[in-house]
Amino acid sequence: MRLKFAFMRFLTGIFILAFLCEFLIYYLVLYQCSYPVLNPEFEDSSIITNGTVEELRAMILADTHLLGPYRGHWFDKLRREWQMYRSFQSAVAIHNPDIIFILGDIFDEGMWTTQTEFDAYLKRFANLFNVEKPIELFVVPGNHDIGFHYRMSPNLEHRFSTAFKSRPVSFVSRRNVHFVLINSMAMEGDGCSICQKAEKNLKTVAAKLRCTKGVGVCKGIKPLPSYSKPIILQHFPMYRESDESCQEIDSAPPVLKNEKFRERWECLSREASEMLIEMLRPRVILTGHTHHGCYRFYPESKIHEYTVPSFSWRNKNNPTFMLGVFTSNNHALERCPLPQETTVIALYVIGLFVNIFIYFLPRRRFSLHEHKNPKTCPQKLTTIVCRKFQIFAVLRLHARRQKSKPSLDGSETSGAQCRVYLCVILCRFLSRLFSRLMW
Ligand SMILES: [Zn+2]
């Protein structure tokens, strides 16, 4: 009967632990992040506004890599997809963005799957990253969705574009904030059919922006209500030699930072990067692909580039996503960490041991009733130790005051007092916990 009761309590403890690690922790971590505040000093004075500037709140994530039918263990799939589902849905519930962007590599095996498998993939994506209107969600393709340039077939590109209503280069404008969504693999410039389509789309978007700005001719082009510098969203980072200069909290580990990037594989080619900057004159570039965070500033063109790390524990122990506030003449972006996988594992291990210790370890021999001399009882002993410590701490504080009277100011005294009180409280708490465990 006693064992049955202990087992029931043990199960309750495990249930509370699972609730903490699989649900509550996401809210506790994500509540600590918030939208950044726009700094008026960074306003672009060259952009003409009509007095009222509307803010657009965006959430940006990358590289979700949903596992497909060929790679990964079922538990790996279950675990990491639950992590992404909980992180995404908690972040949307807490931050309520106007618009969400996923910067490619949504699927891990998109380029290998048959049409039936791809349809199943789409269903899973819709379940995991479901958002209610009026929140809008846009995606750009990554190399794992449709293949690198050498592998990207018109069929793979077409089925992805149809499923997500995108084009090799798409244009999205909300509240006078303009976004250009680019298929990085179509920026090869070798005259392939998808590259030609992308180039044509790009020229149309660039002409529309130039026309709205009042530069060049607007023949046959309908201008936008107002001009603002666009924001580029794409999977590959702009050309850079490596991640060596990246110093963000979610940057690559030192061992990976020095690895040289290959153009068209780890980043866009130098020509494609220069061409995009020249044609679109963006203010911000948001990219993914490397699975690690990075921030770069181009002083000549005053462009900010942010590389967003992977959203999945499968690729990163400490995933992050970005929250952004955009207006037509200003922007601010903030990196938001998700719970770390190692923290959750550590919580499970500690919680499990504490549960076993509390409910299954034999405790009768420690009972107060069986101790002839109450002074040797652990409960009494911890109380005595705690009192002794309290006396010692107060005496030490008094001695310190006497010794440093001329130099110790009020703040130092209250700081030392605080530390003593905290230690006493901690001691009392441990004493009670110990007593409870032993009796
Ligand atoms: Zn990629």
In the reported structure, the alpha carbon of residue 141 is separated from the centroid of ligand 1 by a whole-number distance in angstroms of 9
Point out the least confidently predicted range of 217-231, 315-329, 363-377, 380-394.
363-377
Q: What is the CA radius of gyration of the chain?
A: 29
- Token output for 379: 């409960």
pLDDT at position 355 is 82
Q: Give the pLDDT score at 72.
A: 75
Beta bridge partners of 234: 182
Q: Mean pLDDT, to the nearest integer, of 73-89?
A: 91
| Separation between Cα atoms, residue 414 and residue 294, nearest integer Å | 42
Cα(233) to centroid(ligand 1), Å: 14
CA 68 to ligand 1 centroid distance, Å: 16
State residue 134's pLDDT score. Answer: 92
Flag whether pLDDT at 255 surpasses 70.
yes
Give 376's pLDDT tier (boundaries 50, 70, 90): low
pLDDT band for 392, please (50, 70, 90 cuts).
confident
* Ligand 1 centroid to residue 86 C-alpha, Å: 23
Report pLDDT digits (tens) over 173-228.
Answer: 999 999 999 999 999 878 888 999 999 999 999 999 999 988 877 888 888 888 99
pLDDT of residue 408: 43
For residue 366 the two structure tokens come to 């420690």
pLDDT tens-digit readout, 146-171? 989 888 888 999 999 999 998 899 99
Instruction: Using the structure block, give the residue that is written with the tokens 């980072």.
Output: 237
Query: What is the whole-number distance in angstroms between the Cα of residue 63 and the centre of ligand 1?
Result: 7
Task: Supply the pLDDT for residue 10.
Answer: 80
- Min mean pLDDT across 127-136, 345-354, 362-371 is at 362-371
In the DSSP assignment, the letter for residue 202 is: H
Q: How far apart are CA 298 and CA 308, in angstroms?
A: 17
State how far Cα 302 lies from the chain centre: 25
Distance from Cα 243 to the centre of ligand 1, integer Å: 15
Q: How confident is the model at residue 115 (pLDDT cuts 50, 70, 90)?
A: very high
Sheet with 56-61, side-by-side order of all strands: 136-139, 99-102, 56-61, 320-326, 331-337
CB 176 within 8 A of CB 225: yes
**Over residues 263-278, mean pLDDT:** 92
Centre of ligand 1 to C-alpha 185, Å, is 10
Distance 355 CA to ligand 1 centre (A): 42
Which residue in 195, 157, 198 sits closest to 181, CA to CA?
Answer: 198
Q: How many Cβ atoms are within 10 Å of 228's Cβ, its own excluded?
A: 26
User: Rounded to two decimals, what is the model's pTM?
Assistant: 0.79
At 12-49, the pLDDT tens digits run 888 999 999 999 999 999 999 999 999 888 888 887 77
Query: Which residues are bridge partners to 331 per DSSP?
Result: 326
Instruction: Band the pLDDT of 406: cuts 50, 70, 90.
Output: very low
Whole-number percent of the chain with pLDDT over 70: 83
Residue 382 has pLDDT above 60, yes or no: yes
Residue 316 alpha carbon to ligand 1 centre in Å:
14
**C-alpha 235 to ligand 1 mean position (Å):** 7
CA of 173 to the centre of ligand 1 (A): 26
Paired residues of 337 in beta bridges:
320
Span from the CA of 268 to the centroid of ligand 1 (angstroms): 11
Q: How far is the CA of 270 from the centre of ligand 1 (A)?
A: 18
**Dist. CA 104 → ligand 1 center (Å):** 7
What amino acid occupies position 47?
I
* Residue 59 alpha carbon to ligand 1 centre in Å: 19
Q: Report the pLDDT value the prediction gives residue 358, as an integer from 0 to 100.
A: 75
